[in-house]
Structure formats: structure tokens, C-alpha cells
Structure 1
Amino acid sequence: MDAFREFIPGAANRHNYGQDRRGPQNPRLSQERAPIIECLLRYRDTVRLHMPGHRGGKGADPLLLSLLGQETFLSDVTGVPAMDELHEPQGCIRQAQELAADLFGAGHTFFMVNGTSGAIHTMVLSALDDGDYIIIPRNIHKSILSAIIMAGANPLFVRPVYDEYLGFALGVDAQGLIRYLQTNPDARQAKAVLLVNPTYYGTSQNLRPICEAVHGQGKLLLVDEAHGPHFHFHRNLPEPALRAGADAVAQGAHKMLGALTQASMLHVQGPRIDLARTKAWFQHLTSTSASYLLLASLDAARRQMALSGPELIGRAIELAGMLREEVNHIPGLYCFGSEITGQPGVDALDPTKVTVTVRELGITGYQAETFLRDKLGIQVEMSDLYNILVIVSFGNTEADIRALLEGLRSLRRAVEAGELPRDLQAAQQSIPDLPPIPEMALSPRQAVQSKWERVPLEQSKGRISAEVVTCYPPGIPILYPGEVISQETIDYLRIISRLAFGISGPEDKTLTTLRVVRDV
């Protein structure tokens, strides 16, 4: 910290808050700078008679102080004049956001302190008015549905490509989406298209032809790039959405870069985006007490990528490649790689996402995750019926990878010795085909704001769903609020409810009953 303090202009003068503010007459700041961190260091010795109440840690509970350390509390400040203000940035926050925009190639970058969900909310609400239509894949993150509900918009769903063997959704087939845009009458009324790219599992689609088709119809292309902020920094990664021409991109800097959890960015570019409207929605949706710990971490993550991004991301790619190769030498386990690309929905792959498929062992991914965590103290990113997902970061070491590999070998030995039951065989014996996408009778907002009642699943035919129902696999919602429940949907949910799969969304996880809009 002291070494960095020496680097900062004005750090010797703790009252020199306004120095180096960027304006029309000032030269562009170097990417070596970290404006928010510089301001925090200049402010650390100030006598504090303002929020927060812990006063730089002097009033903090000793237990929390021992956990987080004094430095954390000294940097937990509020939007006093010396520290700029996130809603109307003119000083260090403005400088930091401009540096990020320069690095990522955006017209404007917003620092988000309420996660990528907050970035998505701002992105969608700034693009849509009440009653507008938006084309989205069926496997969106719940934050996108929340934004659509808040906007009062109407979703037009397209189904992503589903891989039966791996048991999860890939991307949207680009050519299929383009045909939908060109031939479907409903698509003509859409104001925007929103895509999830990359997926949680690292599969990525070619956005350029989609972007050309979307813009050719005068629509906006919005991208949930929560898991792809690192794409900008290595040639062996998929093309970033901004470079492909997307109008707005939400990124989780905490997911794949070095920022703190909940720290994200929203990038916008081009004439199709109303920047003033986006700024207004950003202010509506963002806390007026933004965490400077999160803001500083965004500033630092940007600086780190600017100075060392290719080297750091390259290290992660190398470690992930080692893991993938070694896993594929363990009998019963499989890690897909570049061989998955070229099929519909997958044009490229993020190699730092390593999916270990365990279905040939006869166990579920849930069992594998539990074994690694409870027996060996290894926590992976997530699991599903067939897989565990591992995210390899530049923060990992070869020792981490070796520990996981040994853990996977131990997992196989435990299965072979009968220490783990082969639960998968019973679970997958009768997985039904997905039912058709239901008819949308009400907008999601109308559905969730309506009075509702709970009815038995078998009596729900023809009723309008008032909740989301998602089953894993395939991880694609079967019902959204506002959709009409068909007999095919009832039959599907009846079978799924008996298989003990993961159920997300409904209040009744047994699927014995569903929440539906009350008939008037």
C-alpha cells in the first residue's frame, strides 16, 4: 500500500482532493492510474465526522475488525465531495469510468455496485417502454425477467439449442434467430433482442451476423455478458460483444476479473442508445450510498487488465488446459473442449470454464460436488444432473488444479468401491422431452401483479401461470408468469416432479400445486 501511495500524485498532501480531475482541457489519463484508489489514499488521514458510523474502523466491532482489517474500514467511505459521487460523477469516479470505457471500447461505462443484475436492470429499462416487445432466449437469468417485469414489457421467447448428452442449454442458433427475425410477424414488433453470451458453461455464439440482422431492422442488441468480461484480453477467447457491435453489454467484473463480489459494469455505445435515459435509469436503480470498496475494486480490476491482462488471462487458459487434458485421462470423466464448437449455438468456447461430465460414472453432478466439498474441502462453481462446473482464474495455482485432479480420482475410486450410490441411473431413466413454449396471455408484470391462487397441478390446464417454474435439467424455464398452462406442460411437470431433479422458482417445490392468476 505504501509503495502504491508513493506513485499517486498528491498523496503526500492529504487535502489535495481535486488534483488531476479530467476535463475537456486535460489529457487522457494513463491506464496505469487508479483514480478511485488514489482518492481513497489521499483521504485516509482525514478527520471523519460523517457516515459511515464505524469511523474508519475505530467504531467497528472488534470481531469484524479482526476479520476485515483496518485498511478495509479506512476505504469504506461515502460520497463526500473529496470522493466524488456515483450518481453525478465529476472527479475520480468519472475518471475511472472513462478509463474503463477506453479499455473496453465503449462509448460510456457505468460502474455498478448492485451486481450484474443491476447492470441488466438498467440496460433493459433504458431500452424498453411499457408494452414494448423484446426477443430473448428461454434460458435467461432471473434478473432479465425482473427487468422485463419492471419495464412492463412483453417477451418473445426463442429456445436455445439443447445438448442432450451434456444436459444443458447452449446458445441460440444464430441462423435460426436470423430467420425468426426475417420471417416471424411477431418479431417485427420487437424493439430489442437480448442474448446471453457466453453461457454459464462458457459456450459462445457468433454475435456479428446476429448484430447485423438486428440493426438492419432498427432494433437494439443487448447482451448479458456477465461471464465474459475477460474476452477483451486474450486472442484465444471468444469475440467480446462490444467488438461485435452490441449496443449495450452487462459484465460481471467480479465473476472473471479481480473485482469484489457484486462489482460489475454496464457498457453502452453507438447512436441507438439514449445515454441520457440510461443515466436516468442508472440513478433510479442504484444506491445513493455506493460502496467505495466495490468502486475501488472495479478501478483496480480495470488497471490490472490494462497492464497485465493478456499475461494473466493466458495463465488461466493454460491452467484450464492442463485440467481439461488430465480429466480426460480419468476413466468415466469427460471434459468437452473445442470439439463442441461448430454446431448450432456454439461458435466458440471460453476455455477457462471447465465442465466435468460425470454421467459415465453413474452418479450425478450434485453427488460429485458434495463429495469434493464435504470429503476434500474443494468447492466447485456449481453442479447439475450430469456435470460439475469449474471456473479457472488467474488467481488459481497449479497446486489448486492438482488438488482437484486428485479429488476427481478419489471420487472415481469411491464410486468404484460402492461408497457412492449410482443415483443417476434412476434419475435419468425417463426424462421427458420439453413441452412446446406456452402461449403468453398476459405480460409478466400483469401476471405477477394480479391476484393469484394455488391450484393442484392436475387442475391447472388453461390457467395463467403467476410464477416461474424451472427444472434442472435442462435449466430452461418451463413456465413464465403470464403463460397459459397446457396439458403438455402438466404432463412434463408431473414426470419431473417424481425424478427428484432440481426445481427453481415455484413456491411449491414438489410441483403438487401451481400459483396461477385468479379468474375474474
Structure 2
Amino acid sequence: MGLWLHLPAHGRGRGLAPELRQLLRQPPASWDLPELPELGGPLVADGWVAEAQHTTARALGASHCWFGVNGASGLLQAALLALARPGERVLLPRNLHRSLLHGCLLGGLRPVLFDLPFDPATGLWLQPDPAHLERVITAALAQGPIAALVLVSPTYQGLAADLPALVALAHRLGLPVLVDQAHGYGEALAAQADLVVLSCQKSGGGLAQSAALLLQGQRLQVGAVERSLLWLQTSSPSALLLASAQASLGQLTSAFGQRQRRRGEARGLRLRQHLKQLELPQVSSPDPLRLVLHTAAMGINGLEADDWLMRRGVIAELPEPGTLTFCLGMRPPPGLRWRLGRQLVALRTALGGPPLPAFVPPPLPLVAEPEMDLGLAWRAPSEMVPLVPLAALAGRLAAAPVCPYPPGIPLLVPGERIDLARAEWLSQQQRLWPGQIADTVRVVAT
């Protein structure tokens, strides 16, 4: 029997929300319903969906909630379009998910990308502290007005920011805040974020593509959010996915769901302690349901570790050059400590060696805006240029993102100028992500 330690967090059904499990026992497709009057929809004032959204908002501490059926990706895009008008600048972290970049393109927004602290031992971007973010906002405002700030917390690996301090700083400087909390549990609402996006399959017992957008405060009008949802969400939402959002978020806030999560977290902490006793290096993460193996410390590229484990029935969620992230899910599988421990010890024996060299951070300014309009660069006539020789790439404008998936973080954004240092760094990344990054880059044709 395999060890499936990947998303969705329900773990192939083990942790499904009880109401959703009951619904799925009904006759096939009996739940595939249109927006009947008694059912309604996310933008309909009356009906079951409206009532469920209101109940969910109240339980999570928000003023409004909208369920989404196009995942956190679709709701992040809708949130961006609600925050900014065409031509306005939005401040985005370098570890943004690619869906936010797509949202900028759809809305005609100007992305201003800000650099983040970097850990050379793991190759991971870290969360900014308030002093770093204040430098970022100050530098961005010096180049023109900013419509909104986006933060990602927690990250794919469970690394969380000091959201109360960061949100308070942004508000003091006049910026509304959208938090991509696809891998979180709604903590950003207590931090007073204006808009928060949750994924019901990443941190709850819901199905893939079910998600929620939450609003609080007076910095944004409800009508602006609903208008952007109307533009981007389907007019025929899946009743099953709407029920998934309701059930999983209800589970998240219920006494039963909280007990279930505490039990899962306790098992996750016991797993960490067991692996520590086996001297298997881990990356510290505040989420006990995310285990991040520090493969670089074992002398192993995380992508190679993932391939080796997958061929032996252990399927992780996120391989990266320096780490391998396992999502334990709402109900971690039985026997996890011993089964995973044995496999990781065998991995170290088979592939391990001296620690990998330190990773090199991207040579980026604190804040940067693409030199060519994002949409124009993405649509422009283009050509493929090899990463080597570097001189052929240096000085060109990117025409498409370079984006390993997962995690879906763009290493290069359309319209960015590629100088020699950036070309060298991209070449290095191509060697670190075998099979994920091509040996050519699409650039704007000259």
C-alpha cells in the first residue's frame, strides 16, 4: 500500500468533511444541480448558498464570504480585479502564484514585484519582516501610486508571516491587503487583512477547485468584489463544489473539525520527533501537517528524492532542488511514522552524500516592474533563445514566464529585462530543475 502524502488534504477521502462524505454517497450525479431558487448561487441574494456563505463568514470572522468553483486561483484573480483598475500598480511578492500574474494580465494591471529574504541552505524564499516590507513599500511608492499589496502566508511549505504586523504596516501606509492563504486556515482575518482567499482542498476536507473569498473592513466595496466575481466565475457553478466549500469550511470551524485537526497535528509532531531521532534533517515549519525534508543537507536534489520515493510508493506534494514537502492531510495515514521513516532512511542510504552547495539567490532589485507591459510582452511576436551561450540571452525581454509547477512560482515574468547576472542565474536554475525548466527561454522578437 502506498503512502499518499499530497493534496487534496482529505487524503483520498480519509479526511473528507462528514457532510460532503454523506452527499457523495447519494445516487451518482443527484447533486449535479442548476441554480434552482432554493439553491441559489454565490452571487444570488437568496437560497441555500447565500445562507451558507453568510454562516461561513460569521464563523470565520469576516463580513462577507463567496464560494468559488475555480479554485483559489480564480478567486485570487477576482480579488485583484476588485482591488485595482486597469493601468494601476499592484505590489506582489516574488513568490506569488502564477494565477496572480494571470490576474494582472486579465485586469490590465501593472505588477510591481518585490524581493524577499532568501535561505541559501534550502533555496527557499522566506517571509518578510516589517522592516523589510516597509523598505519595499517605500521604494514602490517612490516610483508612483500603489493600489494594493498582496502577501502569501503561509507558503507551500507552511512558512508563516507575522501578518498582524505586516497588515498594520500596509494599512498605515494606505494600502489595502489581499492575503493568498490557500495553504492556511483563515488566520489572516484575525490580522485584519481586507481580502483573504482560502483553498478548501489544501487546508481542509474539501474537493479540488472548491475555495472561498472573504472580505472584511471598509477599504473595499462589496459591489466591486461581486462585479469581479461576475466577470471571472462561471454562470453555472457546480453544486457539488459549492457544497464542498460549505462543508469543508464548516468542518474547519466546528468542534469536531478542530478536534480532528488537533489529532492530525499531534501525529505530525510525533512524526517530526521520530525523524529527528533518525537524524533526518527537516526545515522548521509552524504547520505540523506540512513536513519539509531538507534534502540538500542529505546531499540530494529534492526532485531526485521525489523520483526515487515515488517509484517505491511514497508520493510527496512538492519537490524542489533543496527540499521535499509532504502534506500529511487532515487525517494522516496510519503507521506513518514507521513507514515513512524507513523509506527516508533508505533514501539517504541510496542517494545521500555531502551537503549540496549553498543556493544562490536571484540577482534582483528590491522592487522591479517589467519594462514592457505584461500583456503586450506575453502577446508579442517571440522567439526561442538558448540559455547557453548566456550572451545571446542577456539584454532580451522575456515573452513568457519561466515557471516550474508545482510550486507555480514564476522565476521570470513577461516584460522583464534579462541582464547577464539574471541569465547566469536562470541557467543555474535549469540545472537544478531537471525536466522542469527548458534549456531555452521565449523572448520578445527583435
Tell me if structure 2 keeps the 8 A contact 1:447–1:517.
Answer: yes
What do residues 285-336 of structure 1 show as CA deviations (whole Å, max 9, x unaligned)?
11122111111112211232323232122112101101111111123x2123
Q: What is the rounded CA distance, in whole Å, between the counterparts of 1:383 and 1:145 in structure 2?
A: 22
Following the alignment from structure 1 to structure 2, what is the Cα–Cα distance between the partners of residues 479 and 195? 19
Deviation of the 1:188 alpha carbon: 5.2
8 Å CA contact 2:200, 2:244 repeated in 1: no
Q: Which residue does the alignment assign to 1:516? A: 443
Structure 1 equivalent of residue 398 of structure 2 = 465
1:344-398 deviations in Å (ceiling 9; x for gaps):
xxxxx222211111234322222322232212x2212121122211122332244
Distance 2:170 2:273 in 1: 39
Q: Which runs of 5+ in 2 are unaligned?
A: 1-16
CA offsets 1:267-301 (integer angstroms, 9 cap, x no match): 01111112101101111111122111111112211
- State how far apart, in whole Å, the 2-side matches of 1:475 and 1:74 are: 35
The CA deviation string for residues 220-242 of structure 1, in whole angstroms up to 9 with x for no partner, is 1111000002xx5xxxxxxx111
Q: From 298, 309, 319, give the equivalent of 1:372.
A: 309
Counterpart Cα distance in 2 of 1:475 and 1:147: 14
Q: Distance in 2 between matches of 1:430 and 1:318?
A: 33
Residue type of the partner of 1:322?
R
Unaligned ranges ≥5, structure 1: 1-33, 42-67, 233-239, 339-348
Q: Please tell me whether the aligned partners of residues 154 and 183 of structure 2 are also in contact (alpha carbons under 8 angstroms).
A: yes
Counterpart of 2:299?
362
Q: Which residue pairs with 1:258 in the alignment? A: 205
Question: In 2 relative to 1, CA 71–351 (structure 1 residues): closer, same or farther, beyond 3 Å?
Answer: same
Contact conserved, 2:98 with 2:410, CA < 8 A, in 1? no
Correspondence list, 1:187-202, <5 A = 189-202=145-158
What is the distance in 2 between the residues matched to 1:495 and 1:179? 29
CA distance in 1, matches of 2:73, 2:272: 30
- Partners of 1:168 and 1:474 within 8 A in 2: no
Tell me the amino acid that sits aligned with residue 372 of structure 2.
Answer: L
Work out the CA distance in 1 between the residues paired with 2:302 and 2:195: 34
* Greater mean alpha carbon deviation, residues 206-215 or residues 137-146: 206-215
Instruction: Tell me how large the CA RMSD over aligned residues is.
Output: 2.8
Q: Distance in 2 between matches of 1:256 and 1:456?
A: 39
Show the counterpart of 1:484.
417
Amino acid at match of 2:433: F
Aligned partner of 2:427 in structure 1 is 494
Matched, 1:396 2:332: yes
| Residue of 276, 284, 291 corresponding to 1:337 | 284
Report SS of the residue matched to 1:203.
coil
2:237 to 290, 298, 321: 290
Larger Rg: 1
Residue identity in the other structure for 1:272: R
Deviations 1:415-470 (A, max 9, x none): 2xxxx486x87xx5585552234662122122113232334443233322111124
8 Å CA contact retained: 1:455, 1:516: yes
Q: Which residue of the partner structure matches residue 5 of structure 2?
A: none
What is the DSSP-based 3-state SS (H/G/I as helix, E as strand, rest coil) of the residue aligned with 2:426? helix
Distance 1:474 1:309 in 2: 27
1:449 aligns with 379
Give the distance between the partners of 2:249 and 2:375, measured in 1 at CA: 37
Query: How far has the Cα of 1:69 moved from its partner?
Result: 6.8
Aligned pairs (5 A) from 1:23-422: 71-182=27-138, 184-186=140-142, 189-229=145-185, 240-305=187-252, 306-331=254-279, 333-337=280-284, 349-375=286-312, 377-413=313-349, 415=350, 420=351
Distance (Å, rounded) in 2 between the aligned partners of 1:280 and 1:475: 27
The superposition leaves residues 86-143 of structure 1 with CA deviations (integer Å, 9 ceiling, x where unpaired) of 3324110001101110111111000000000011011001111111111111111000
TM-score, reference length from structure 2: 0.87
For residues 270 and 156 of structure 2, what CA distance do their matches in structure 1 show? 21
Q: Displacement of 1:494 after TM fit?
A: 3.4
- Could you list the per-position Cα deviations for residues 231-264 of structure 1 after superposition, in whole angstroms to 9, with x for gaps in the alignment? x5xxxxxxx1111010001110111111111110
The 1:179–1:439 alpha-carbon spacing in structure 2 relative to 1, beyond 3 Å, is: closer
What SS is found at the alignment partner of 2:375?
helix
Rounded to whole Å, the distance in 1 between the matches of 2:174 and 2:121 is 38
The answer to whether the 8 Å contact 2:121/2:358 transfers is no
Give, in whole Å, the separation in 1 of the partners of 2:156 and 2:407.
13
Name the structure 2 match of 1:30.
Answer: none
How many residues align? The count is 422
Change (3 A) 1:503 1:247: farther
* Aligned residues of 2:123 and 2:359 also touching (Cα < 8 A): no
CA distance in 1, matches of 2:248, 2:328: 17
Task: Give the direction of change, closer, same or farther, for the CA distance of 1:167–1:494 in structure 2 (3 Å limit).
Answer: closer
Report the secondary structure of 2:314's partner residue.
coil
The 8 Å contact of residues 75 and 213 in structure 2, kept in 1 or not, is answered as: yes
Cα 1:119/1:408, change in 2 over 3 Å? same
Contact 1:263/1:298, CA 8 A, preserved across alignment: yes
Distance 1:171 1:503, change over 3 A: farther
Higher RCO (CA 8 Å, separation ≥ 6 residues): 2
Which amino acid counterpart does residue 434 of structure 1 have in structure 2?
Answer: P
Q: Is the 8 A contact 1:107 1:268 kept in 2?
A: yes
> Is contact 2:97-2:410 (8 Å) kept?
no
Q: Provide the secondary structure at the position in 1 that maps to 2:417.
A: coil
Corresponding residue for residue 59 of structure 1:
none
Offset at residue 81 of structure 1 (A): 2.6
- Tell me if structure 2 keeps the 8 A contact 1:120–1:147: yes
Deviation at 1:476, TM superposition (A): 5.9
Query: Identity of paired residues, percent?
Result: 29
Is this contact kept in 2: 1:249–1:267, CA < 8 A? yes
Cα 1:461/1:409, change in 2 over 3 Å:
closer
- Aligned-partner residue type, residue 129 of structure 1: R
The two structures have a TM-score, normalised by structure 1, of: 0.75
**Aligned counterparts of 1:163 and 1:108: Cα–Cα separation in 2:** 37
CA contact (8 A) 1:382 1:388 kept: yes
